[in-house]
């Protein structure tokens, strides 16, 4: 073997030794790194979907005018059912009446002794509203009321700010919620909390007999409103 071949063999041997030494030093470090990495990945937990969909703080509440606290989280929760109220309108008068309200499609006529079943959605509940229900835009539902030729405007048939309103809930309420037009011409709100007179309705009393000589006339003379104990529940229109 010549001198040149011997020199190349020596360089190859030294390189082989250096590679083996480097592998012996680095291999434990690489193994340790591989052992640590899976543990670091396993400690990362996926973000909960409900947390991502609910951006409101955990202890956030919206307080309505009655002091009821609604969780802010309902605003971003598609699964939250908005609060619905039921209040029956009952006609105990001796004649047919009608109510034509600001969120009704048409007037509703209620025969004597009959009931009009009404549903109202909360305007304070921050839960998403159903797409098919766009009203009301305020806590009150105001109507024109009429009976036997008498008409009144500004008559409130529902107000979510009534102290008794919470008992009128569809879910969790007591089921007894009535707006009664009584035969003594009072409008009364009846719930399990009691009976509260909201006001009187204006029904004229007309006489056809004018001082004993007008009984043959086809129209009424001397129409007057009788005395009443409470303020009218609305404004007289005719």
Most confident of 11-15, 130-134, 184-188: 184-188
The contacts of residue 233 (CB under 8 Å, 6+ apart) are 152, 155, 156, 187, 198, 199, 200, 201
pLDDT tens-digit series, residues 50-73: 444 445 566 899 888 788 889 988
pLDDT digits (tens, 9 = 90+) for 74-117: 888 989 999 999 999 999 999 999 999 987 788 999 999 999 99
pLDDT band at 171 (very low <50, low <70, confident <90, very high): confident
Q: Could you tell me the strand order of the sheet in which 140-147 lies?
A: 108-110, 97-101, 140-147, 150-159, 235-236
Q: Is the dihedral of CA 43, 46, 47, 48 positive or negative?
A: negative
Which pair of structure tokens corresponds to residue 196?
A: 């509260």
Separation CA 77–CA 134 (nearest Å):
18
Give the per-residue pLDDT at 41: 43
Cis peptide before 152 (omega within 30 of 0): no
Range in 125-129, 140-144, 188-192, 213-217 with the lowest mean pLDDT:
213-217
Q: Which range has highest mean pLDDT (27-31, 40-44, 233-237)?
A: 233-237
Q: Give the DSSP letter of residue 49.
A: H
Q: What is the pLDDT of residue 96?
A: 96
Q: Supply the pLDDT for residue 147.
A: 95
* One-character DSSP codes across 100-122: EETT-SS-EEE-TT-EEEEEEE-
Q: What is the average pLDDT value for the chain, to the nearest integer?
A: 77
Quickly count: other Cβ atoms within 10 Å of residue 74's Cβ. 19
Which residues of 122-169 form beta strands (DSSP E)?
140-147, 150-159
C-alpha span between 183 and 54 (Å, rounded): 52
* Signed CA dihedral, 210, 213, 215, 218: sign only: negative
User: What's the pLDDT score for residue 211?
Assistant: 52
pLDDT tens, residue by residue, 107-143:
999 999 999 999 999 989 999 887 655 566 789 999 9
Q: Looking at per-residue confidence, does 175 or 45 come out higher?
A: 175
Give the percent of the chain with pLDDT over 70.
66
- Residue 75 contacts residue 56 (beta carbons within 8 Å): yes
More reliable by pLDDT, 25 or 57: 57
């Amino acid at each position: 073997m010549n001198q040149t071949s011997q020199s190349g063999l020596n360089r190859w041997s030294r390189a082989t030794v250096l590679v083996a030494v480097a592998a012996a030093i680095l291999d434990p470090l690489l193994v340790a790194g591989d052992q640590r990495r899976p543990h670091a990945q396993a400690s990362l937990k996926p973000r909960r979907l409900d947390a991502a969909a609910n951006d409101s703080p955990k202890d956030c509440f919206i307080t309505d005018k009655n002091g009821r606290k609604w969780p802010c989280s309902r605003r971003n929760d598609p699964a939250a059912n908005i609060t619905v109220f039921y209040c029956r309108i009952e006609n105990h008068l001796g004649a047919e009446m009608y109510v034509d309200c600001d969120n009704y499609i048409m007037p509703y006529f209620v025969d004597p002794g009959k009931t009009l079943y009404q549903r109202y959605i909360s305007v304070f509940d921050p839960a998403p509203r159903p797409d098919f229900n766009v009203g009301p835009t305020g806590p009150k539902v105001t109507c024109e009321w009429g009976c036997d030729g008498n008409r009144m405007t500004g008559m409130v048939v529902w107000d979510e700010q009534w102290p008794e309103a919470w008992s009128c809930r569809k879910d969790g309420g007591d089921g007894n919620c009535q707006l009664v037009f009584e035969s003594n011409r009072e409008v009364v709100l009846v719930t399990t909390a009691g009976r509260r007179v909201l006001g009187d309705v204006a029904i004229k009393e007309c006489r056809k007999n004018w001082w004993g000589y007008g009984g043959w006339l086809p129209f009424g003379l001397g129409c007057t409103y009788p005395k009443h104990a409470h303020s009218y529940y609305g404004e007289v229109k005719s």
